[in-house]
Chain A
Amino acid sequence: MTQTLQERRSPLPSSPDIDLFELYRRMRVLRRMDEVLAELVAERLITGPMHLGIGQEAAGIGATAALRPGDMVTATHRPHAQYVGLGLPLGRTFAEMMGRVDGQCGGRGGHMLIADAEHGLLAPSGIVGHSLLFAVGHGLAQKRAGQGAVTLCVTGDGAVNSGAFNESLNMAALWRLPVVVLVENNGYGLSVRLDRHSHQTELYRRAAGYGIPGEVVDGNDVEAVHQAVSAAVARARDGQGPVLVEALTFRNNGFSSSDRGGYRDPDEGAGVTDPLELAARRLRERGASVEELAEIDRLAAVEIDEAVAFAKASPWPDTEALFEYAAKWDEGARR
């Protein structure tokens, strides 16, 4: 660490009775994070591929809110909801995305490979299907330890067609592992529309083939996701095995920073519920004032600004470590 971490941090995911205010706050931080990331990519302060999740906040945030410390999370190439939902120190997270030394992985991993052992994120992976496989292993370890810990495995609608999905779901079901599989169904695997990559587009139905419960929730309703995943987590903690939860959502940005577009109907997003708007509307209905919500938004922006400032001030990693590492595996390594 070259800087002292003095940034605001999201509280650890913990209590099962996290309220809508807190869920909304996390979604707002996540939204702000992705908006700022888009700017940092445009300014080339972040290079390399970037996968944002604007419009998908409720699924990831609702799900991690069902966990408690000691649980595990495996994630995908679109992992920012897990970064925010698990309370990763976002200054370090931005630093990682910018390739700086204070990143969780010292700049080696980049935006989609931010492992954070302390926060139970082991790990996101950019290879489609990996999150499912790792979850089986965590589940086996958790079952053996017998402490009631569970694994949340985040995956996508595209990933359900990987061989890994079949292999993992069967093993998890066979061994009754404490694994909750969250399928973030945003209707596309990269550019390929759901009905062009899957004949059975109701993905939760696949659970039946493994003899485990499967359910579908409105993935833009953070409370609905939180509830569904909490119930699944409780069941898994209780030793009753895996559950598949399909969260229907919509990706309101390109699949990555290199999306050329042209593969979806421009009006497609028109009728879609924005998860933040929905949560804000509900909060207002339950008596929150406009000012209170504005304050959450303001604090979210401040949190992200501070994180970015931290990251920008972080030095570049030193190349020396590369040569030290290579000296073992690549004797006579060039300098």
Chain B
Amino acid sequence: MTGTTTTRMTYSQALNDALRREMAADDRVVVLGEDVAHYGGIFSVTRGLLDEFGADRVLDTPISENGIVGGAIGMAMSGLRPVVEIMYTDFLCLALDTIANGVAAFPFAFNGQVSMPIVVRTQGGAGINAGPQHSKSLEAWTAHLPGLHTVMPSSPADAKGLLTAALRSDEPVVLVEHKLLYRSEGEVPEGDHLVPLGTAEVVRPGRDATVLALSRMVPEALTAAEQLARQGLEVEVVDVRSLRPLDTATLAASARRTGRVVVAAESWVRYGPSAEIAAAVTELAFDDLRAPVVRLGSLGVPYPASPALEPSVLPNAAAIEHAVEQLVKRTA
């Protein structure tokens, strides 16, 4: 379903492209959130949509996160397809009630009488010295809920493809963007472009070790793999991209091929998505693993604002490179 020609665009533009196309194709799609209409979203993702689709389809909301998602539940039950923007994943905390107790629960609990074609777009991650209330990665919280997809695009093409798939899905999706990726550029298929929910992708093949990476850690892992290639180590990089459902088949197949696995996710390590990924790979590929799965993530402290402190908390390409080297050494 992927178009043949591509255009170079940013991650924000790719998201905007997906929204615009789906809104044009389906007038049940309604965008709502703080600052999304007149301003076009603080990361410019909804720019131009108000002019193109009008005020009854693009709504600036009050600062009422739980209210917005709660409203979206009603909209979905009444036949609309709401797309909610929650400005920071840190503020998604205020809407966890309606997400956990409504969005994720109702299609099952009401025995199929309702579906929840709701997309919650949010944005997380550190790296701009924004401090403890504007830097977190909390995708594990929504991925914990059965009945809800949680996806994290790492490239402009996947941003468009995953958002398009999310908008067409009758199941609810939380799409977590990364603040440092909005300006990243890449080739994006024109026209219809879907990345199926629930699929991982091998973005660089290799035989010596596997890095299972999420969101911004994917480009970091690719940088590490390039460095390691100079030392003759062929690292396979897999973009996990869907946290739930988790594409365990693709992840485990890579683990079996290389026997060495590093999971790189920006969130805190303990109880984070890397715990689930490591467990799944271990369960499925234990016999082929040459060492326990290694997890890389943020140090267990609230994100400090100081530019002198924040980098020490975050995983990066160098940390991935080091982890792979150590793993290979240990299992040579």
For chain B, the count of residues having a C-beta within 8 Å of the partner chain is 40
How distant is the Cα of A129 from the Cα of B319 in the complex, in angstroms? 38
Is residue B301 contacting chain A, with contact meaning CB distance below 8 A? yes
B62 pairs with A263, CB closer than 8 A: no
- Residues of A112-165 contacting chain B, CB below 8 A: 112-113, 125-129, 158-159, 161-163
Closest approach, in angstroms, between the C-beta of B48 and any C-beta of chain A?
12
B38 pairs with A110, CB closer than 8 A: no
Selected contact of B62 from candidates A49, A158, A260, CB within 8 Å = A158
Name B's interface SS. Answer: loop
Is residue A319 contacting chain B, with contact meaning CB distance below 8 A? yes
Is residue B146 contacting chain A, with contact meaning CB distance below 8 A? no
* Closest partner residue, chain B, to A198 (CB atom): B62
Known contacts A48-B129, A322-B313; A108/B35 CB under 8 A: no
A163 pairs with B67, CB closer than 8 A: yes
Of the 9-residue stretches A17-25, A186-194, A221-229, which lies at the interface with chain B?
A186-194
B306 pairs with A192, CB closer than 8 A: no
Q: Which residues of A contact B312 (CB under 8 A)?
A: 319, 322
Selected contact of A192 from candidates B35, B128, B134, CB within 8 Å = B35
How distant is the Cα of A126 from the Cα of B299 in the complex, in angstroms? 22
Q: Which residues of A contact B130 (CB under 8 A)?
A: 48-49, 110
Closest approach, in angstroms, between the C-beta of B51 and any C-beta of chain A?
12
Selected contact of A317 from candidates B94, B134, B306, CB within 8 Å = B306
Is residue A210 contacting chain B, with contact meaning CB distance below 8 A? no
Known contacts A99-B308, A99-B309; A112/B131 CB under 8 A: yes
B268 pairs with A330, CB closer than 8 A: yes
B60 pairs with A113, CB closer than 8 A: no
- Residues of B116-150 contacting chain A, CB below 8 A: 128-134
Known contacts A127-B90, A333-B300; A191/B39 CB under 8 A: yes
Q: Which residues of B contact A26 (CB under 8 A)?
A: none
How distant is the Cα of A191 from the Cα of B305 in the complex, in angstroms? 24
Q: Which residues of A contact B296 (CB under 8 A)?
A: 334
A107 pairs with B308, CB closer than 8 A: yes
Closest approach, in angstroms, between the C-beta of A192 and any C-beta of chain B?
5
How distant is the Cα of A158 from the Cα of B87 in the complex, in angstroms? 14
How distant is the Cα of A162 from the Cα of B91 in the complex, in angstroms? 12
How distant is the Cα of A330 from the Cα of B130 in the complex, in angstroms? 22
Known contacts A107-B304, A110-B130, A329-B300; A263/B39 CB under 8 A: yes
Is residue B180 contacting chain A, with contact meaning CB distance below 8 A? no
B131 pairs with A326, CB closer than 8 A: no
B60 pairs with A196, CB closer than 8 A: yes
Q: Mark A300-334, 1 if CB is under 8 A from B, else 0.
A: 00000000000000001101001101100110011
Known contacts A112-B131, A125-B133; A191/B308 CB under 8 A: no
Known contacts A110-B305, A128-B63, A161-B62; A334/B319 CB under 8 A: yes
Q: Which residues of A contact B307 (CB under 8 A)?
A: 47-48, 99
How distant is the Cα of A221 from the Cα of B300 in the complex, in angstroms? 47
Is residue A80 contacting chain B, with contact meaning CB distance below 8 A? no
List chain B positions with a Cβ less than 8 A from chain A.
34-35, 38-39, 42, 44, 60-64, 66-67, 90-91, 94, 128-134, 268-270, 296, 299-302, 304-309, 312-313, 319
| Given A190-B39, A330-B269: 20 more A-B contacts, CB < 8 Å | A48-B307, A100-B308, A107-B309, A109-B305, A110-B130, A110-B305, A112-B131, A113-B131, A113-B305, A127-B90, A127-B133, A128-B63, A161-B63, A162-B94, A190-B35, A191-B39, A192-B39, A198-B62, A317-B309, A322-B299
**What are 10 A-B residue pairs whose CB atoms fall within 8 Å in the complex?**
A47-B128, A109-B305, A113-B133, A113-B305, A126-B131, A129-B63, A189-B62, A190-B34, A197-B63, A330-B268
